Amino acid sequence: MQRAILALSLVSAAALANPFSNATLDAAAQLQQQAMQSSAAYQIVEDLTTEIGPRLPGTAADMRAVQWAQARFKAMGFDKVYIEPVQVPHWERRAISAQVTQPYPQALVITALGNSVGTPESGITAPIVRFATLADLEAAPAGSLTGKLAFIDHQMERSRDGRGYGPVVKARSKGASIAASKGAVGLLLRSVGTDSHRFAHTGVMRYAKGIAKVPAVTLSAPDADQLTRMLQRDSHVELSMNIQTESFSPKTSYNVIGEITGSSKADEIVLIGAHLDSWDEGTGALDDGAGVGIVVGAAQQIIDAKLKPQRTIRVALFAAEEIGLVGAKAYRDAHKGELDKHYIAAEADFGAGPIYAIHSRVGEHALSDFNAMAKQLESLGVKRGNNNSWGGPDMSVLPPLGVPVAGLALDGTDYFDYHHTPDDTLDKIPPAAIQQSSAVYTVFTWLMANANSNLRPIPLPKS
Amino acid sequence: MQRAILALSLVSAAALANPFSNATLDAAAQLQQQAMQSSAAYQIVEDLTTEIGPRLPGTAADMRAVQWAQARFKAMGFDKVYIEPVQVPHWERRAISAQVTQPYPQALVITALGNSVGTPESGITAPIVRFATLADLEAAPAGSLTGKLAFIDHQMERSRDGRGYGPVVKARSKGASIAASKGAVGLLLRSVGTDSHRFAHTGVMRYAKGIAKVPAVTLSAPDADQLTRMLQRDSHVELSMNIQTESFSPKTSYNVIGEITGSSKADEIVLIGAHLDSWDEGTGALDDGAGVGIVVGAAQQIIDAKLKPQRTIRVALFAAEEIGLVGAKAYRDAHKGELDKHYIAAEADFGAGPIYAIHSRVGEHALSDFNAMAKQLESLGVKRGNNNSWGGPDMSVLPPLGVPVAGLALDGTDYFDYHHTPDDTLDKIPPAAIQQSSAVYTVFTWLMANANSNLRPIPLPKS
């Protein structure tokens, strides 16, 4: 009896604490059901990756992607569709090849990192020095790599939340300059990835000022293993590589934006986003066609249901995320005057899902909103997460300016098998996963557009 | 009681029928135990794929592989090591690229089939006509493909025994000439493979006499799907491709042979083999480094155990299997005079295993030998198979001349994921699988070298 009373009082407390009106919750349930029967998100990725394919920032394909997204948004029935210019760097990969010349002559599979300079036209040939980690390279004495190629063989660990990425990706962004500072003529990096297929993973790198720019390439995992086996047999392994890349003047690309205008709070914005650009060797299906499908598909559910949100729902497809969150920074600057009207922001940029948790970064007083949201999404397998989210790569530029964010955690267990490789293609997207992810985004977006709480001020780490 | 007597009499009959002496069986058990604790087979593939890598017939790497194998055989302690010359065709792949030019411009992943001619230096551009199967292409009216590229999109089915290969591989060998006979300027073939990765599978093709030679290429599965999606949206899809290949005059390569000389029946031969050559884009780990490891590893177990077989055990590593069983045919011709002394032959050329069944092609009266052998190998998960084996691709040239063969069936469920792709590398070999396979070959070889039965005459289908 005691327990029954307790249970009853908990239910009442939960009902009282629910920050969403019954009408909002009823509509959310209807939207969830509708989204779980819709193939809209998958269809969007299919269309983008088929009709545009790779869309490297600054290229003609990038421009076609912008036109494609605009046309799609207009056809979908957004209340407003517009684009905002973004100046984007423009770098392109040309011919890339590598061969071990001795002691075991054979070709290796490599690719250039984004921003990498090329070799002279005739290529370079140099002996290889292996390091287990970037820290080991950093510890090499000055001058010890003169005339050599530095090979970092750090293997990434697989995880659902991608925590294996951080410890290895620094070698990608900074390794070339650190190697060059010791005299190296190039960087060979084991791909930042979790697969064992013959694909090298690309990604952006940076040169430090005042240090010679040397070519930076990655090896596929099987090729990194092959080099290591060769070095176990013979400490003198020589590699010849020919890297041709081209850097152009910056180009104008665009963030593409669609809005469902709010009813009673039209000036307040629920921002959901993904990035439209991709690397050049795959078709950008998981990265980030899936994100485009998830967030655009979510908006489509709300439009198709003819439901009017209180706040304005804004879908932003950002330009040039891959080469430094360029579109997101342009958005932040262009919208500086209305950032205080951004109720919350969230980005899908970690594959197709499914979504297993909802993280947030909101005021402590609003945490109950997210508990209630997670409860609403329980039947889709979603749990309440933590309050430490940065909202996704692009959206991470907003919390420092006080904007609340959510992190709808996509299952990324396999994400780094395909990330930044030629193998990032449509067949890697499980239709059921992206359907669930888009359904979660649909419910999230709808609840946020109609919630009663104020989510500010947000907690931020002391800098 | 009736049943107990029956069971007893069956046991007695089996004991009586056992074609192997107790000493032979004891040694087989010892060898099996030893092989199941040995990493010899894996180590051989590791060394071959690391120190030589790809070894396309007629190339410098092919010659290095022959030297490598000879040196390895000598170091192992074979009683005899020798090579036999084989004239091999010599074809090489050069630069290969393809782009859809309209309506959805983007690069596709393709590769040339072995023997394919190239395009003019400037490439070719033509519209695509899709066919679901080779039969559909064959049914196309004469002249209907003039100036077009024929695209065959037949998907291979996965199976343990590779039965999905036959129905699709004809399109690879004959598709180009059939397409050209209808006026096509080239063949685009969905890769003969079971994976969905961005690898095109190569393989040998032939031109029919009197028909124009047109370039023959394969698309990776994701790229074939991509083309099909494009054609669903727009019937006019145009592809530009540039294929550069080179045909050279035939070269002299070698079959590499090692022998453990028999004691009482030295002139009788138990022949086990694999092929030493490989395609050029992977390191030939599963095809057929694994087979090399399995059969050479088996011989190594017997040598290391210091056991003397009654018959001579001959290990043959054949040249140029990939381009038409060239080494095997040379072996057949060079050994015509002693084929009647070949007690039995078996080849490992279907990946790393494990082995799940023992098939054969021997006289009906000797079937009990194979039942007994399967019983001996039961603890390794091996079952008795059928009597319809051809002994493997290379060995298939021997039964028509009366030579008994065995087929030690390797589990090929994943084999066509990697077959003839850049992704056929060492990491695809499960150490436990190749250990079991080599252990089975060890026991098989030992039992055959000491069996009492005559395996002839063998049953052959009427031709």
* ipTM rounded to 2 decimals: 0.94
- Which residue of chain A has the CA closest to B220? A423
Note the pLDDT tens digit of each residue in B49-108.
Answer: 999 999 999 999 999 999 999 999 999 999 999 999 999 999 999 999 999 999 999 999
B-chain residue closest to A231, CA distance:
B50
**CB within 8 Å of chain A, chain B residues 382-421:** 421
The fourth-level CATH superfamily of domain A20-79+261-450 is Zn peptidases (3.40.630.10)
B180 membership: H or E segment, kind and range:
helix B166-181
Return all residues near A111 (Cβ < 8 A) that are at least 6 apart.
A93, A96, A200, A201, A202, A217, A218, A281
The model's confidence at residue B5, banded by pLDDT at 50, 70 and 90, is: very low
Q: Which of B47, B100, B242, B427 to mutate to test the interface with A (most CBs of A within 10 A)?
A: B427
Residue A8 — pLDDT band, cuts 50, 70, 90? very low
Q: How far is B190 from chain A (nearest CA, A)?
A: 15
**pTM for this one?**
0.95
User: Residue A364 is which amino acid?
Assistant: E
Alpha-carbon distance A321 to A293, whole Å?
16
Question: Please, which residues have CB within 8 angstroms of residue A156's CB and are 6 or more apart in sequence?
Answer: A164, A165, A167, A168, A192, A193, A194, A416
d(CA A228, CA A129): 10
Interatomic CA distance for residues B306 and B292, integer angstroms: 21
**pLDDT tens per residue across span A148-183:** 999 999 999 999 999 999 999 999 999 999 999 999
Q: Are B248 and B137 in contact (CB under 8 A)?
A: no
Interchain contact B233–A (C-beta under 8 A) = yes
Count of CB pairs separated by less than 8 Å, A with B:
88
Average of per-residue pLDDT values in chain A? 95
Cβ of residue B104 closer than 8 Å to a chain A Cβ: yes
- DSSP 3-state of A309: coil
Q: Does A109 touch chain B (CB under 8 A)?
A: yes
Query: Chain A: nearest CA to B168, how far in angstroms?
Result: 21
Q: How far apart are CA A263 and CA A310, in angstroms?
A: 5
Question: In sequence order, which residues have a C-beta less than 8 Å from that of residue A462 and are 6 or more positions away?
Answer: none
**In this predicted model, what pLDDT tens digit does every residue of B244-275 receive, in sequence order?**
999 999 999 999 999 999 999 999 999 999 99
Take residue B311 and report the two structure tokens written for it. Answer: 């018959």
Residue B128 to residue A237: CA distance in whole angstroms: 45
A18, A281 in Cβ contact below 8 A?
Answer: no
- Residues in contact with B200: Cβ distance below 8 Å, sequence separation at least 6, in sequence order: B109, B110, B111, B191, B217, B218, B219, B220, B223, B421
Overall average pLDDT of the B25-32 stretch = 98
Alpha-carbon separation of residue A216 from A173, A250, A287, B42 (angstroms): 10, 21, 22, 33
The band of A463, judged by pLDDT with boundaries at 50, 70 and 90, is low
Print the SS3 string covering B361-407: ECCHHHHHHHHHHHHHCHHHCCEECCCCCCCCCCHHHCHHHCCCEEE
B199 shares contact with chain A (CB less than 8 Å) = yes
What is the token pair recorded at B91? 């074809």
- Report the DSSP beta bridge partners of residue B346: B272
Nearest C-alpha in B relative to A418: B197
Task: Assess contact for A211 and A220: CB atoms under 8 A.
Answer: no
Contact between residue A420 and residue A56 where contact means Cβ atoms under 8 Å apart: no
B12's CB contacts (< 8 A; 6+ apart) are none
Angle between helix B60-76 and helix B290-304 axes, rounded to 10 deg: 20
Radius of gyration for the alpha carbons in chain B, expressed in angstroms and rounded: 24
- Res. B1 pLDDT band, cuts 50 70 90: very low
Instruction: List the domain boundaries for chain A.
Output: 20-79+261-450, 94-247
Residues 6+ apart with CB under 8 A from A208: A174, A177, A178, A181
**Tokens representing residue B142 in the block:** 């004469």
CA distance A426 to chain B (A): 8
Query: What 8-state DSSP symbol labels residue A195?
Result: -
What phi and psi values does residue A271 have, to the nearest 5 degrees? -105, 120
- Residues 6 or more apart whose Cβ sits within 8 Å of residue B147: B126, B127, B183, B185
Which band of pLDDT confidence, cut at 50, 70 and 90, is reported for residue B147?
very high
Residue type, position A48, single letter:
L
Rounded to whole angstroms, how far apart are CA atoms B114 and B133? 21
Element (H or E) spanning B332, and its range? helix B326-334
Task: Give yes or no for a contact between B203 and B169, defined as CB atoms under 8 angstroms apart.
Answer: yes
Q: Do domains B18-79+261-450 and B94-245 have the same CATH topology?
A: no
Q: Quick count: other Cβ atoms within 10 Å of Cβ A16? A: 7
Q: Calculate how close chain A gets to B49, using CA atoms only, in Å.
A: 9
Domain A94-247 adopts which CATH fold?
A: Glucose Oxidase; domain 1 (3.50.30)
* B441/chain A closest Cα distance in angstroms: 27
Tell me the sheet residues that pair with B218: B111, B189
Q: Are strands B149-152 and B124-131 parallel, antiparallel or unpaired?
A: parallel
pLDDT tens digits for range B166-218: 999 999 999 999 999 999 999 999 999 999 999 999 999 999 999 999 999 99
Looking at the DSSP bridge assignments, the partners of residue B407 are B359
Query: What amino acid is encoded at B60 in this protein?
Result: A
**H or E element: which one contains B455?**
none
Task: Say yes or no: A231 contacts chain B, CB-CB below 8 A.
Answer: no
Torsion-angle region of residue A46: left (phi > 0), alpha (psi -120 to 50) or beta?
alpha
* A292: helix, strand or coil: helix
Average pLDDT, chain B: 95
Q: How many residues does chain A have?
A: 463
Place of tokens 């049914």: B139
Nearest to B230 among A50, A106, A226 (CB): A50
User: Which DSSP string corresponds to B145-166?
Assistant: TTT-EEEE-PPPPP-SS-TTTH
pLDDT at B15 over 80: no
Given a cut of 80, whether residue A11 has pLDDT beyond it is no
Q: In 3D, which of A222, A192, A185 has the Cα closest to residue A107? A: A222
Residues B9, B439: contact at Cβ < 8 Å?
A: no
Cis peptide before A457, with omega less than 30 degrees from 0?
Answer: yes
- End-to-end CA distance of chain B, in Å? 50
In this predicted structure, what is the pLDDT of residue A3?
46
pLDDT at B4 over 60: no
CATH number of the B18-79+261-450 domain: 3.40.630.10
A389-435 pLDDT tens trace: 999 999 999 999 999 999 999 999 999 999 999 999 999 999 999 99
Contact A360, A389 (CB under 8 A): yes
| CATH top-level class of B94-245 | alpha beta
Identify whether the C-beta of residue A125 lies closer than 8 Å to the C-beta of residue A162: no
Residue B225 has pLDDT above 90, yes or no: yes
